[in-house]
Structures are given as structure tokens and as C-alpha cells.
Amino acid sequence: MEENKKLNILMATMQMGFGGAETHIYELCRALVRDGHTVTVASAGGRYADMLEAAGIRHVTLPLHTKNPLAVLRCRAALKKLIASEQFDVVHAHARIPAFICGSLQKQLHFRFVTTAHWVFRVTPLWKRLANWGDRQMAVSEDIKQYLIDNYGQFADNISVTVNGIDTDSFAPGGDFAAIRDELALSPSAHRIVSVSRMDESRGKAQLCLAKCAGRLLEKYPDLEIVIVGDGVLSAERNLLADVREIADTLEKKHGRKIIFTPGLRTDTPAFLASADVFVGASRAALEAMSCGLPTVIAGNEGYIGIMDESRRDLALKTNYCCRDCGETTEAKLFADLCKLLDTAPEARRAMGDYCRRVILEDFSAARMAHDYETMYASLPAVTPDVPGKILVSGYYGFGNAGDDSIAAALVAGIRAYAPDLPITFFCKDPKNSAKKYGVRAVRRFNIPAVLREMRTAKLLISGGGNLLQNTTSSRSLFYYTTIIRMAKRHGLQVFVLANGLGPILGERYERDVARTLALADRITLREPQSLDYAASLGIPHDRMTLSADPALLLTPADARRVDYILKNVENVPLFAVSLRSFATLRSEEVGGADEDRFAATFAAEVDAIAARTGAKPLYILMQSSRDRDLTEKVNAAATVKGEILGGLTAREIMGVLERCEFVISMRLHLLIYAVAIGKPPLGISYDPKIDAMMRYMGCAAPLRVAGLKGGALADAAAALSGAPLSADAIERLKSLALADAASAVQMTR
């Protein structure tokens, strides 16, 4: 979708009453409208719905808060009519029921569909089956992003992470609280603790702990007042406000004055915060308090972080200030921290509050949140996956191999950089997942009737990238790829053999077959000189071929926060990356007759030697978990210096992890390519001429042979690595060649 385009957006959520998600949506809508977009909100209504309309933002009231089948059908009919008539650029759902309804309409109405995950909910088999998370997802923290990956199989690169954006003008120091002081008859000079939260049992634990601390706090601070703003909103849960009010009544009778004030649900939160000396709470409420310059104790149902300061900033951010997995909130912890704050001199407390305010201005502005969403909207494909592709892509896609998946992602990104509206179809093993991952149409690669249907309307077949035309792993796969090319030519398509590695091809009959197939191609680019020379030896004229580069070089690393999350359990020491692959599919001559178990023992000894000489620890990366894990675990078990094993990462995540490593050792070709793309020194372990050829082409150190890992050879080579393997200019030259292939592909469809 075009960047900077002013969009017509439909937000669909359950309701717009009191809560963190509702406030998030309210602030997002206002920020998007300030940026020039048009926003309509559909929900069951609530206080924030009234405030949206007061701000000039349209609200449509629908019973989106209930699973009642009749209500769901009513909402579906109403949303279908609304979406069809308004022609929204983006439909954006913020809860599972609205997402299910909107998702059921997408295929029929062909709109761009995104969702936001605000929380982690219990996953049932039914919800897992019914859930529709759209073309792109937004999570409000890295752990919620991981929840979407682990529980719903969402693709990490399609999930953005934003913040709970705060209106820092409304939530600012020095607010006026005269009205609530008069309303509640608050003392003008008391020590005052304020907390804001829903009071359902799943949310109000910290507030109940605060009320239970009140008696002990009064012994130290006789003028104490506590204000707990909020109420229960979920009928299915116990309301803890009743318990708080019972404690409040007991204290009032004992002390002859009101100690704990419970004004219920309110939207004038800034006024209550303006009255506070200290705040207790979590999530969005804590962020709003920090924006007001209040010293804040981060505490909630999910856990306890404590007094917000520099030492706790990273931890708070990782959990989006929700305290997940941060220990239990207890009266003892809360009492101790509140005493620390209330005993602190006013000037020092103000400095603590000023720090909290700076954190919000740096990390949590509403403008930053809106920008994150606008970036996600711009990343949406301009065409929906149900449109037949003008470009067909054939390759080793959908097998869970990070290297080939990175080629797919780079191809799509490269083509869309030149032609955002051009529909693309992939032939792959897992059409459903591939369509979701890359925002393309996808059909099963061996579903020949479906493949033929796609060819009837397409203009171009891309065969590649990768090392497709070889038969060392399987003659069946070679037959498949050459057959697809011939079928495409019979249907009048142009054929682009793109950034291929060629060979080895065993047997003259197979070489003749490949030569005849390549002769049919309209354009051929090879990813390294050895493949170019091999094609020439098969009789393909040099003037029909061009030297190119692997498309994966075009990918960029995941952002730093994502990498921090991935490495959260990895020791903070220098690291070197290692990627191995099983010998099971390799021929004996490719590994010099080496035995996998003996290799594991030898490699483990080399890992220990490298660790001793460099002071770095291994970090094992699985490029294809199904084939790489067994050997990797054998090596790690045999080595004295243990390393973490990371699997299931996307190419961009792997590149982000490699940026944190000192150097890279790999049997997997694409891990070596990723290292070159980010300028990290790679050391290849070769079992295939393609690795030797690519390392030469990229200007890297010569790889070691699998059978040559003896007597510290690997440790010597690793210790010798220094600096980037290529100059920045050389890396950019390779990337420009890969990008030129994408431009050529687009040109061939015109």
C-alpha cells in the first residue's frame, strides 16, 4: 500500500468502555485523525465511544461484545453493508469476535485486514480454529507477539510491535484536581496514593493489596489518603471493588475519617493523577501516571516490578508494563516500596517523577504509536491473495527452510518495490501458510490442475532462486522444476531462471535435459560464476546469461527490541553463531566419508577450542529444524562449553541475531549469505561445491571441508577471522544485482 496515503479506516472492537485496550483505541483514532486519516469505529459503545463522537470521529453501535449467534449474524450483516458502502482502505479489528466476523467477510469483499492483540488469552482448540488475525498483526509488546507466533502460527515478520501511546498533553504534570478534591472532600495536605484499574478479579489484585496495606501505612503516615479509581466490568468475574470498600468502611469506622476513596469508573483520570504523590498500578494506567510525572510502583495481577527507575526500564518495557513473569504482587513488597517513596524527600520524588515523564516522551507518545500503525498499513500488499498471479514463482518453498523462505520474502519485496499492484502466485508445499507469510496467492506445487489454471492467466514464470537444477539430493525434484518450465512455455509464458545455483548434475542424460530446459528460458541469471561457467559448458551461450546475486542479500535484520526478546535467555557474553545440517541427505563423497557421530565429537572439541581462544560462546541456529536439530544437539551435548539453540526464526530474525555475534560458522549456505549481508565475517564448512563457489564470489575466506576438521583446523580458521568479509561497496554491488533481477521480472510482465 502506498506510503503517506491518507486512508479511510474502519476500527472494529468489542466495546469502548473503561479499559486499557479501549483507551489505546481511543488515543490511536485521535492520533490518526490528526494525521489526516478518516476513521470510523464500530463497537457496542461505552464512555470512550461518546468521547470519540465528541471529537468528531464517527461511531457505529453494534453488539460486537457478545458471542451470541444471533448477535454475531446481525453484526456480520451490518458490517458487510458498512464495508461495501464505505470502501475502507483498511479494516482493523481489535478483539477476537470482531476479527472473526471481519475475517469471514474479507474473501467476499476483498479488503485489507489487520488486527491488534492487546492481551494474552487462554487458547482453546475452537478459538484457535476460528481465530482470524488478518494480513498483518500489531502486538502491544514482544511477549504478545510471541504469543501470536506460538499459539496461532502467525509469521513473525508480519507482526509489528507498538506501544500504548499516551496523550502526553492531557497526561502532564501540574494538572488541576480542584474539582475532584471538592467532590471527594480530599485533604489539601495529605500523603496521597492513587491507583487506576479495572477491578475484576483478573485485574484488581494490586489494588486490593494496596487497600490491605492501608492500616499499616496509616501507622507511619497518619494523614494518608488512598484513591482507587475503577470498577468491575466483566459480569463473569468477581468484582474486587466490594472487598476494597469493605476494608475502606472498616478503616473509616476505626479512624473516624475516610481513608480509602473509591469513585468508580471515571474518564477524568488526569485530575485524579494530578492529586497524587505516588501511583500504584500496571499497564496503560501506569504509563499515564508516569506521563503525569508521578513516582510509580509497577504492580499488577501478572506480577510485580516495583518502583520505576532506570534499572527496571528494560524489564518493564519487555512486558509492556504488565509485569508478566515478574514475580507475585504481595502486600509485603508493596508496603516496602510505598514506604521508600513516601519517606523520600519531595524534591527527590519530583526527580523520580521527571524521569518517568522522560520515559513516556521517549518511548510512548501517541504520535509514535500512530506512526507504528501507519507503517503497518503501508506494508499491506496492494492486492489481495485471491487475485490470480501475473507472476508465478516455482522453487523449494514451504518446507520450513529459512534459507529458501528468505528467498521468497526477498523476491516478493523486490517485485513489490517496483510494482506494488502486481499479483504473485507461489507454487509451494504449504499454500495456506505461504499465502499468509508473503501476502501472495499460493497453490500446492504438485496440484497440477491448479498449477495449469494459474498458467492460463499469468505472464511470467520465475524459476528460483536457490539451487533448483541439480540432482544430488533427488532426480525427482530436478524433473519437477524442468517440467514446470516446459509447461509454462507451452502456455505462452515468459520464463525467468532467476539467481540460480546450477548443479551438480549427475549423468549425461540429466545434463542434456537441463540444457534443453535452459534453452527455453527468456532470461537466465546465475548467482555465482561457477554456475555461469557450468551453464556455458552445457551449451548455453554466455550472451543469454547474466551474473547476479542471491535475493536473500536484500533482506534487513529484525529490529533491536525483537532481537533482545529472542536473546533474553542467552548469557550476555561474546557469541559466535553456528549452523549445522544433518548428514542424512548427504552422499558419502560429499562429506569425505565422515561419520555424523564422529563429526559431532570432533566439532564439539573445535567449539571448545574456539571458546578458549576467543572468549566467545557458541549460539546454535537451526535453519531447518527438522534436519538440523539432531546433529546440533549431539554437538552441544558433547561440548564442554554449552550454547543456546535457537530454532523457528525468520531470516530477518536470524540476521538480527547474527549482528550480536562476533563471527559465523556454518554448513548452511544461507546463514553465510546473511552474514555477508550484514558485514559479519563468515566461515563456511563445505559439503557441496555451491558453498565453495558462493564463498569465492562473495570474497570470503575459503571454507573448510567437512572431512578436514582435525587438529584444531576450525579453531585456527575462526581465530583468524577479522573484520567484515567484504567492503561495504562490494556488498552493495551484490545487492544491486539482486534488485536488478526484481526489476527485470516486473519488466517482463509488461
For the ranges 201-215, 370-384, 520-534, 640-654, which has the lowest average pLDDT? 370-384
At 226-243, the pLDDT tens digits run: 999 999 877 788 999 999
Burial class (CB in 10 A: 0-12, 13-18, 19+), 276: buried
Least confident of 139-148, 377-386, 642-651: 377-386
Position with higher pLDDT, 1 vs 458? 458
Phi/psi zone of residue 36: left (φ > 0), alpha (ψ -120 to 50 degrees), beta? left
**pLDDT tens digits, residue range 18-76?**
888 999 999 999 999 999 999 999 999 999 999 999 999 999 999 999 999 999 999 99
Residue 598 has a pLDDT of 87
Region 549-572: what's the mean pLDDT? 93
Residue 193 CB-half CA count within 13 A? 26
pLDDT at 377 over 50: yes
Question: How far apart are the C-alpha atoms of 149 and 139, rounded to whole Å?
Answer: 11
Q: 355 vs 164, 375, 744, CA distance in Å? A: 18, 29, 53
8-161 matches 178-364 in fold = yes
For 194, the enclosing helix (H) or strand (E) is strand 192-196
Identify the CATH homologous superfamily for domain 560-732: Glycogen Phosphorylase B; (3.40.50.2000)
* CA max distance for the chain: 101
Element (H or E) spanning 151, and its range?
helix 142-152
Cell numbers for 365, please give them.
507518545
For residues 332 and 294, give the distance between their C-alpha atoms in angstroms, rounded to a whole number.
Answer: 22
CATH code linked to domain 391-554: 3.40.50.2000
DSSP 3-state of 442: strand
Sorting pLDDT into bands at 50, 70 and 90, what band is 724?
A: very low
Q: Name the CATH superfamily housing domain 8-161.
A: Glycogen Phosphorylase B; (3.40.50.2000)
For the whole prediction, is pTM greater than 0.85? no
- Is the CB of residue 521 less than 8 Å from the CB of residue 498? no
Q: What fold, for 178-364?
A: Rossmann fold (3.40.50)
Residue 279 C-alpha cell reads as 501511583
pLDDT, tens digit (0-9, with 9 covering 90-100), for 645-697: 999 999 999 999 999 999 999 999 999 999 999 988 899 999 888 899 999 99
* Contact criterion met (CB below 8 Å) for 501 and 691: no
**Residue 573 above 60 pLDDT?**
yes
Backbone angles phi, psi at 75, to 5 degrees: -65, -40
Domain chopping of the chain, boundaries: 8-161, 178-364, 391-554, 560-732
CA distances, 272 to each of 199, 257, 354 (Å): 17, 20, 18
Long-range CB pairs of 132-137 (<8 Å, 24+ gap) are: 132/99, 132/100, 132/102, 132/103, 132/104, 132/106, 133/99, 134/93, 134/99, 134/102, 134/103, 134/106, 135/380, 135/381, 135/436, 135/439, 136/160, 136/376, 136/379, 136/380
Looking at the DSSP bridge assignments, the partners of residue 113 are 91
| pLDDT at residue 237 in the model | 87
